């Protein structure tokens, strides 16, 4: 399947699209996987994909220009906005923090993409949503459960929202905000062998 990598020359909106309206039906929102399972071959592919994604994000000129910009999402009432975080400057980003964060994110997203909808291999699964940590306590919990740096994880999501590879939605029912896979990211993961039947998982929610 053809896919689009991040294009440094492509224009990027000054503010990511906000998903301000709630859907008429509650989507099947998944929980972030707390640890990475799978065969050695899968884990090698996952590590390589995380490293590639980190390099592509670092090279994206639109992200470089937008460093420091706030990512806003609607509040739980849908009448205002609240900050999710800021786009980081990736020039000095610490690879030892970002790669594990991207590995866990890609592992969780590819698991959802592998299991949410198997009727058509050429379409992104619908829905393909995952709760993501937001507040200080949630980020600390992420670190204690998965040994992943919460701030790097959050910044990675902000970057992927900005380049149009993820949508970010407000919290529901007193839970965390959640993300949805968009077609470019689905295609990107698929070409790297991360989306497949029998994807390994150990779902954990709290």
Residue-number span of the structural domain to which 59 is assigned: 29-191
Which pair of structure tokens corresponds to residue 158? 């902000």
Q: Which pLDDT belongs to residue 98?
A: 94
Regions of the chain with pLDDT less than 50:
1-26, 125, 203-206
Reported pTM: 0.76
Q: Which pLDDT belongs to residue 54?
A: 96
Q: Which pLDDT belongs to residue 5?
A: 41
The CA distance from 172 to 169, in Å, is 9
Is there a domain that residue 200 lies in? no
Contact between 74 and 81 under an 8 Å Cβ cutoff? The reply is: yes
Which pair of structure tokens corresponds to residue 103? 């590995």
Is there a domain that residue 96 lies in? yes
Which pair of structure tokens corresponds to residue 64? 């470089």
Helix (H) / strand (E) element for 21: namely none
Is there a domain that residue 138 lies in? yes
Is there a domain that residue 2 lies in? no
The CA distance from 157 to 160, in Å, is 5
Is there a domain that residue 99 lies in? yes
Contact between 182 and 164 under an 8 Å Cβ cutoff? The reply is: yes
Q: Which pLDDT belongs to residue 26?
A: 44
Is there a domain that residue 17 lies in? no
* Helices 136-146, 150-162: crossing angle, 10 deg rounding: 110
Q: Which pLDDT belongs to residue 45?
A: 95
Q: Where are the beta strands (DSSP E) in 87-149?
A: 129-131
Burial of 117 (0-12, 13-18, 19+ CB in 10 A): middle
Is there a domain that residue 10 lies in? no
Give the other-Cβ count within 10 Å of 33's Cβ.
Answer: 24
Contact between 104 and 194 under an 8 Å Cβ cutoff? The reply is: no
Write phi, then psi, for 168 (nearest 5 degrees).
Answer: -120, 125
Is there a domain that residue 23 lies in? no
State how many domains the chain has.
Answer: 1
Q: Which pLDDT belongs to residue 76?
A: 62
Give the other-Cβ count within 10 Å of 171's Cβ.
Answer: 17
Write phi, then psi, for 122 (nearest 5 degrees).
Answer: -105, 10
């Amino acid at each position: 399947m053809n896919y689009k990598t991040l294009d440094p020359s492509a224009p990027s909106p000054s503010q990511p699209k906000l998903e301000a309206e709630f859907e008429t039906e509650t989507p099947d929102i998944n929980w972030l996987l707390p640890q990475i399972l799978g065969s050695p071959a899968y884990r090698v592919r996952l590590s390589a994909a995380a490293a590639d994604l980190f390099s592509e994000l670092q090279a994206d000129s639109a992200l470089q220009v937008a460093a420091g910009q706030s990512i806003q999402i609607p509040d739980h009432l849908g009448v205002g906005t609240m900050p999710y975080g800021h786009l980081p400057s990736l020039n000095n980003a610490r690879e030892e923090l970002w790669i594990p964060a991207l590995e866990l994110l890609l592992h969780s997203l590819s698991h959802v993409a592998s299991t949410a909808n198997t009727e058509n291999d050429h379409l992104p699964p619908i829905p393909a949503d995952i709760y993501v940590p937001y507040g200080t306590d949630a980020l600390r919990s992420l670190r204690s459960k998965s040994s992943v740096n919460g701030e790097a994880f959050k910044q990675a999501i902000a970057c992927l929202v900005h380049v149009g590879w993820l949508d970010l939605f407000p919290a529901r029912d007193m839970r965390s905000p959640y993300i949805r896979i968009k077609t470019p990211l689905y295609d990107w993961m698929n070409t790297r062998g991360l989306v497949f039947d029998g994807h390994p998982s150990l779902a954990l929610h709290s």
